[in-house]
Amino acid sequence: MALCPNCSAAIAVTAGACANCKAEFGANAAWHPLPQSAAEQDELARLQSARPKEPARPDAQGTLLLVLVMELFGLLPWYLVAGISGTASNHSAKDFFFMGPIWVYPVLILICTPLAFQFNAEGRISTATKVVLAPLMISGGWVVVIMAAFLVLSLASVV
C-alpha cells in the first residue's frame, strides 16, 4: 500500500484521491501516492505516463495587462478633465454627484486591478475581465449619462 503525502493514510498506488483527507492525485496534480516498494514505484511511473495530460486552463493575464495599460494611458485625459472640473466647481453636492464617478477613476483602477488578477489566478477569467473593465464602464458610462443629461437639459431650455 502506498501512503497519502498529505495525511499518511494507506491508499492504493492507483488511487485518484485520498478517502481520508480528500487530497487529489490527478494527471496534473503536484501530489501522488507515495509508493512503499519498488513494485509500487514502477506501477506509479507506468500509470503517470499512461494518463492523458489535462489541457492547460486558459489564462487572461496578457489581456488584463493590456487593459491595465489602456486604463493608465486613460489617466492622461482624466487628469485634464478632473483638473479643469475641480478648479471650475464650487464643490457643491451637484458637482460631486456629476463628477464623483469620474474623480474616483484612479481609485477604481487601484481596487479593481488586484481583484482582477486574483480572479484570473483562481481561473475565473470571465469575472476577471469584467472587474478589470469596471473602472472604464463606471467612469466612462457616467460620462455618457452626463452628456445625455446635458443634451436633454439643453433641448428642454430651447422648447
Do 96 and 145 fall within a single domain? Answer: yes
The predicted structure's pLDDT at residue 24: 82
Cell numbers that stand for 23 in this block: 487530497
Contact 101, 108 (CB under 8 A): no
Give the count of beta carbons closer than 10 Å to the beta carbon of residue 124: 15
For residues 75 and 27, membership in a common domain is answered with no
**Mean of pLDDT over the chain:** 78
In the predicted model, is pLDDT for residue 120 greater than 60? yes
Kindly state the percentage of the chain with pLDDT values over 70: 79
Task: Among 56, 75, 100, identify where a domain stops.
Answer: 56
The answer to whether residues 44 and 113 belong to one domain is no
Q: Give the pLDDT confidence of 132-144 residue by residue, as tens digits.
A: 888 878 777 666 6
Could you tell me if 89 and 149 lie in one domain?
A: yes
Say yes or no: 51 and 93 in one domain: no
Q: Is the domain of 86 the same as that of 10? A: no
Q: Where does a domain end: 33, 56, 79?
A: 56
Residue 68 sits in the same domain as residue 134: yes
Same domain, 51 and 84: no
Q: Are strands 2-3 and 10-11 parallel, antiparallel or unpaired?
A: antiparallel
- Do 82 and 28 sit in the same domain of this protein? no
CA angle 10, 11, 16 (to 5 degrees): 150
**Which structural domain, as residue segments, surrounds residue 38?**
1-56
For residue 66, give the 3-state DSSP assignment: helix
Judgement on whether residues 27 and 105 belong to the same structural domain of the protein: no
Could you give the number of structural domains in the chain? 2
Same domain, 52 and 66: no
Alpha-carbon distances, residue 158 vs 121, 147, 154, 155 (angstroms): 54, 17, 6, 5
Last residue of a domain, one of 19, 35, 56: 56
Task: For residues 86 and 27, state if they share a domain.
Answer: no
| Euclidean distance between CA atoms 17 and 11, whole angstroms | 9
Which amino acid does the sequence have at 132? Answer: V
